[in-house]
Structure 1
Amino acid sequence: MTVKKLYILSAGSCYLDQSAVNRNLPPGKLVNMPVWSFLLETEDGPILIDTGMPDSFVNNPDYYKGTKREGRLVPNMLESDTIVNVLKRVGYHTDDMQTVISSHLHLDHAGGNGHFRNTPIIIQQAEFDTAMTDDNYSPLECRLPDLQYQIIEGDYDLLPGIKILSTPGHSPGHQSVLVTTEKSGPVLLTLDGAYTKQNFENDLPFLSFNSEMAAKSLRHLKKLIQEIHPTVVFFGHDNRQASKGRTFPEFL
């Protein structure tokens, strides 16, 4: 069995200092980074990858004012970008999701996890352990300890056509996802294994918990691409890629 449809869903954006996107650049300039969620329609029901930013970011670009992130991270989120409303556009409610895959628990990927209190949320052990004890994971909506976490370690075959790949480095327990769809065949979602195509192809360093681990994970993803030749490689926050379409209502 393969996945029937993969929808790439826009969930707002955030402005990030360019030095976090490319460590070779000086700080001081903000770049706009698109934020995504991914909906997989399967025979077992819909599965969601990442839940976007927290509701507390809505119309609140000054969220980080007065903190160490002021001037380096600015949310750009409307009410329509909450995961509840993102799913409504596709005709789903949060309770319809059979499973949520959290690539990691950073603010732009796990902010909506609290809307899925009765849904299994798949997360790597290292990510869970770190996030629940590290105040650098912000805001609190990303660090809810009482959800229905399904803790895994390493690569994991969720269903035929959905393979979770352990790609630590950007965060301690980051994971990417390889999806095989009826229409497109293998599709690699790097998530934050690589922010952009330039990060990926030119080995440009970006924000990471451990740069050596991040580089090793990139090599792992490149080797996988050589082996399976995915029809699409979709990066975590690539503006150029976002402008090319193939996002909802289109599907892969």
Structure 2
Amino acid sequence: MMNLDLLKGRPARLTVLDFGLFRVHAGPRDIGICGFLLTTDADEHVLVDSGFPVKYAEDPARATKEDALGSFGEVLSITSDNMPAPQLAKAGVAPDQIDLFILTHTHIDHLGGLFDFAHAPMLISQAERALPKPLYWTGGQPWDWPLRDYVIAAEDAVVGPGLTLLQAPGHALGQIALLVELPETGPVLLASDAISRPSEIDERFDTAWNPAQAIESADRLMRIAAERDAFVIYGHDPTQWPDLRKSPDHYA
């Protein structure tokens, strides 16, 4: 395991950011789009993921058509309030206070702020960053990688005290998860889309980019969660989403 040594402090608060609500046609199921703000006891701020591109708050119908997203699902509610800056503001944090931006993978509902927070290094897996372009979606894959400071993780890595990056490919080539050690809540596993919902495990990840890898990654993550007695926050679990503490509330 590599040691990135990107943070000085230990996790003190974990805030769930509400980036909107989306309906997946398969099911159908209504899923929350989440990101996270991690604040350390050294007053460092880490943003994990950034929701949909801002055009989905401005004109979701037009954006959906541009990106050919309608065959997959539909936006139920993404407003200007669901963009990263307003969500951070609810927690009392300004965009220029972000010290590290972690991107779990580059699908459309996670990379909306790819060009934002340019003052902060972006932590991303080596496999994801090696792609010719971010994954985005099927609408012509319009975005190139921006010029910014990247921190590349080729394996599991200690990001800082109490924060570990776990490689979890399958949903995406460079999918990652995070293990956060909070002082009161204890270990929290941010599974991201490595496990979007518990039922995916029973379904054997049949819709994943690489089901075999996704199964292996999920087995490892759930084993780690069991060993650490960790609270698991899934990527898009319709059952869990309503009960998660969202900004400005937090887990400590």
Superposition TM-score tier, normalisation by shorter sequence: 0.7 to 0.9
Q: 1:14 to 1:71 in 2, by over 3 A?
A: same
Q: 1:245 to 1:126 in 2, by over 3 A?
A: closer
Tell me the CA shift for residue 170 of structure 1: 0.4
Give secondary structure in 2 for the equivalent of 1:80: helix
- 1:79-132 per-position Cα deviation (integer Å, ceiling 9, x unaligned): 111111111111111110110111011111111121111110100111112252
Q: Give TM-score scaled by structure 1 length.
A: 0.87
Distance (Å, rounded) in 2 between the aligned partners of 1:99 and 1:140: 25
Distance (Å, rounded) in 1 between the aligned partners of 2:250 and 2:228: 21
Distance (Å, rounded) in 2 between the aligned partners of 1:174 and 1:214: 9
Distance (Å, rounded) in 1 between the aligned partners of 2:157 and 2:100: 14
State whether residues 174 and 193 of structure 1, in contact with CA within 8 Å, keep that contact through their aligned partners in structure 2: yes
Give secondary structure in 1 for the equivalent of 2:177: strand
User: For 1:121-132, what aligned pairs fall within 5 Å after superposition?
Assistant: 121-130=122-131, 132=133
Distance (Å, rounded) in 1 between the aligned partners of 2:232 and 2:36: 13
User: For 1:132-171, what aligned pairs fall within 5 Å after superposition?
Assistant: 132=133, 136=137, 143-171=144-172
Partner of 1:25: none
Distance (Å, rounded) in 2 between the aligned partners of 1:51 and 1:169: 21
Give secondary structure in 1 for the equivalent of 2:108: coil
Q: 1:133 to 1:91 in 2, by over 3 A?
A: closer
Tell me the CA shift for residue 68 of structure 1: 4.4
Letter in 2 for 1:237: H
Q: Extract unaligned runs of 5+ from structure 2.
A: 1-8
Total equivalences in the alignment: 240
User: For 1:53-202, what aligned pairs fall within 5 Å after superposition?
Assistant: 53-62=52-61, 63-65=63-65, 68-75=68-75, 76-130=77-131, 132=133, 136=137, 143-200=144-201, 202=202
Letter in 1 for 2:39: E
Q: Percent of aligned positions with the same letter in both sequences?
A: 25
Partner of 1:33: 31
- 1:203-238 per-position Cα deviation (integer Å, ceiling 9, x unaligned): 4425322111111101111221232111x1100011
Q: 1:137 to 1:157 in 2, by over 3 A?
A: farther
Q: Extract unaligned runs of 5+ from structure 1.
A: 19-28
Q: 1:136 to 1:248 in 2, by over 3 A?
A: closer
Q: Give TM-score scaled by structure 2 length.
A: 0.87
Partner residue of 2:13 out of 5, 14, 34:
5
Partner of 1:49: 48
Letter in 2 for 1:238: D
Distance (Å, rounded) in 2 between the aligned partners of 1:185 and 1:131: 38
Q: 1:133 to 1:229 in 2, by over 3 A?
A: closer
